[in-house]
Structure 1
Amino acid sequence: MSQPEGFKVAGKENWVCKLQKSLYGLKQSPRQWYKRFDRFMIGQKYTRSHFDHCVYFRKLQDGTFIYLLLYVDDMLIACKSKVEIDRLKTQLSNEFEMKDLGEARKILGMEIERDRAKGKISLCQKQYLKKVLHRFGMNENSKPVSTPLAPHFKLSASMSPKTGEESHFMAQIPYASVVGSLMYAMVCTRPDISQAVSIVSRYMHNPGKGHWQAVKWILRYILGTVDVGLLFQQDKVTGQCVVGYVDSDYAGDLDKRRSTTGFVFSIAGGPVSWRSILQSTVALSTTEAEYMAVTEAIKEAIWLQGLLDDFGVQQDHVDVHCDSQSAIYLAKNQVHHARTKHIDVRFHFVREIIDEGDILLQKIGTADNPADMLTKPVSLLKFKHCLDLIGICKVC
């Protein structure tokens, strides 16, 4: 470590301090903490998940599991047996200084509510979003809107400041702070704003007034939907199975004409994984754009299936629904001709996965594909329908 300011030794200013232990706040501290915690958990006969190294689990004698999820120094423990939970808490408290906050009601800004009688659990970020709105001056007098981004927003790099006056004005605007705050909500519990946040985040390096208007529109949408979150509930018919939906918007980016990939996976009626992102290359057709989106969705499906397998949840295959018949045909058939031979070979691995039967790619109507809202602004009626399909509703 570099010598602290005010404690440098004369004649040895270029020397450094050798640390006997890692200090809080240094770059290597999180890694050293994780290594120590990992050694402890492995020593307690817990298994680290191969698909998420911050998930630990152990199979009990009655066939059930106990799980521990770690995020830096925050933990969640889940098990059907209260005795096993208390035993793990005792082991942890003997090894580390810790606080037992009891039943999980809030973690990382997410509020957890349970209805054990109805078999429901919900996640939302109502208090966090209220703080964000207050911080950036969005009060009760502001007018809420019904969708995260309206179709009339045609954002592009051409909206960036062109004069010194515009640059000076935007320098006073907390654009990056607002987008970062919205991005955290989007990652945790708000897939409904994924597409809108994805678009405005592309211009964080040089935002203009038009971009700022779009960000304020998202805040106005949040103002009217602070109590919206994710709802999970037991389903005795379909069980706790992962189901995926994928879609693509062809050449929606006005700057480089790249397409947008959108997918969402749900379990127990609520979304657990979602994404809205620009594709890495320009697609030359809607089929190619959809095919590239399917590839990204199937990679996520493989990961989710492996994680569930670690959790002891057996699922023979994951259903992934796509509304493009041509992309499904291309994925299921070893066809090479003039229109597809240029597609990068890394996208064709999807064919092998489908042949193995781990992933089933199925056709779904565009009207019933909730991933549609992750690729482009949609009408209010379609937007609400997409939210209903994957269990995004008022929960707190």
Structure 2
Amino acid sequence: MYVTQRTYIERMAIKYGMDKSKRVDTPIPAGTSMVDNAGLPLDDDKPFRQIVGSLLYCAMSTRPDIVHAVAQLSRHLSTPHQLHMFMAKRTVAYLLHTKEVGITVWTNLLEIQAPSLVTLSSTAAEYVGACLGAQHGMHLDNLMNELGLKDNGKTVTLYLNNQSDIAIGSNQSSVQSTKHLALRFYFLRDLVRAGKFKLVYLPTNVMPADVLIMHVTGDKLRVAMCFMGMGGYCGFCP
């Protein structure tokens, strides 16, 4: 099911005086420094807080492409300045001119959640994430086999953004940084060894998750949106 918030966005743009705004292609331009003292402080910070709250609702519902922008703006709720208000309104303008964009909602979307395990390094954290991804991959692989939609023996590709995790998962590296993890997380090695999975490095410049943690622009933003189920916007996918 494809869900948008077109009506909500239109009303939000009217409420904050951005319904006649010019088109912008990114929430916040790349290279923008959201420092604390950016211009003069606002006389009344209530409108800024209202805008950020409205943007947060969109970000958490159907527009993950503005998550990073909202996170940056939220850091200045107590003492907003002119630049922060300008960027908040720019994000509203971005939503208005991409109001047809939404997200594909799957039946099991609510079952997907961050792992509760506390790890001691980024390598360990990403390796745990890779193992959880492999579990979902195995489930889908088995389902497709039962439905006769997949060739038996075909390898499943799991893309990772950490070379150390690929080495660990391929049994090509020592496990000093992950030796504290439970043995159940090492089943990924067995899958790779059996030829059921292969681990492939995905460079940072094409990593779709970057849109959640940094300013992303251009084709990278559009392709990332397609990866997140916001298809049809990038021009590269149906």
What's the TM-score bracket when you normalise by the shorter of the two chains?
A: 0.5 to 0.7
1:365 aligns with 2:198: no
Count of aligned positions: 214
Q: 1:352 aligns with which of 151, 162, 186?
A: 186
The residue aligned with 1:230 is 103
1:292 aligns with 2:147: no
Alpha-carbon spacing, 1:394–1:159, altered in 2? closer, same or farther (3 Å): farther
Q: Counterpart of 1:153 in 2: which secondary structure?
A: coil
Alpha-carbon spacing, 1:211–1:228, altered in 2? closer, same or farther (3 Å): same
1:363 maps to amino acid = V
Find the aligned partners of 1:344 and 1:175 in 2 and give their Cα distance: 47
Find the aligned partners of 1:321 and 1:374 in 2 and give their Cα distance: 17
Q: 2:82 aligns with which of 209, 218, 226?
A: 209
Q: 1:153 aligns with which of 32, 35, 39?
A: 32
Q: Aligned Cα RMSD in Å?
A: 4.4
| Deviation (angstroms), 1:294 | 4.8
The residue aligned with 2:60 is 187
Q: Counterpart of 1:151 in 2: which secondary structure?
A: coil
In the alignment, is the contact (CA less than 8 A) between 1:196 and 1:218 conserved in 2?
yes
The residue aligned with 1:374 is 212
The residue aligned with 1:326 is 164
| Deviation (angstroms), 1:221 | 1.0
| Deviation (angstroms), 1:328 | 2.3
| Deviation (angstroms), 1:380 | 0.8
Runs (4+) off by over 6 Å: 271-276, 315-319
Listed one character per residue, the Cα deviations across residues 185-224 of structure 1 (whole Å, up to 9, x for unaligned) are: 1122112112222222233343333332322221121121
Alpha-carbon spacing, 1:353–1:202, altered in 2? closer, same or farther (3 Å): farther
| Deviation (angstroms), 1:226 | 0.8
Alpha-carbon spacing, 1:355–1:299, altered in 2? closer, same or farther (3 Å): same
| Deviation (angstroms), 1:274 | 8.8
2:16 maps to amino acid = F
| Deviation (angstroms), 1:314 | 4.3
Find the aligned partners of 2:50 and 2:10 in 1 and give their Cα distance: 15
Q: Counterpart of 2:75 in 1: which secondary structure?
A: helix
In the alignment, is the contact (CA less than 8 A) between 2:160 and 2:200 conserved in 1?
yes
State the identity as a percent: 22
In the alignment, is the contact (CA less than 8 A) between 2:157 and 2:198 conserved in 1?
yes
2:202 maps to amino acid = G
Q: Counterpart of 1:171 in 2: which secondary structure?
A: coil
Find the aligned partners of 1:328 and 1:188 in 2 and give their Cα distance: 33
1:335 aligns with 2:174: yes
Answer 1 or 2: which has greater helix percent: 2
In the alignment, is the contact (CA less than 8 A) between 1:331 and 1:351 conserved in 2?
no
Listed one character per residue, the Cα deviations across residues 144-179 of structure 1 (whole Å, up to 9, x for unaligned) are: 2101221122224x3379xxx72xx25344222222
Q: 2:4 aligns with which of 111, 118, 124?
A: 124
Find the aligned partners of 1:194 and 1:273 in 2 and give their Cα distance: 20
Answer 1 or 2: which has greater strand percent: 1
| Deviation (angstroms), 1:383 | 1.3
Find the aligned partners of 1:192 and 1:200 in 2 and give their Cα distance: 14
| Deviation (angstroms), 1:124 | 0.8
Q: Which has the higher contact order (CA 8 A, sep 6+)?
A: 2
The structure that has the greater radius of gyration is 1
Find the aligned partners of 1:297 and 1:186 in 2 and give their Cα distance: 25
Find the aligned partners of 1:170 and 1:371 in 2 and give their Cα distance: 36
Find the aligned partners of 1:179 and 1:327 in 2 and give their Cα distance: 37
In the alignment, is the contact (CA less than 8 A) between 1:298 and 1:320 conserved in 2?
no
Q: Counterpart of 1:228 in 2: which secondary structure?
A: coil
Alpha-carbon spacing, 1:378–1:173, altered in 2? closer, same or farther (3 Å): same
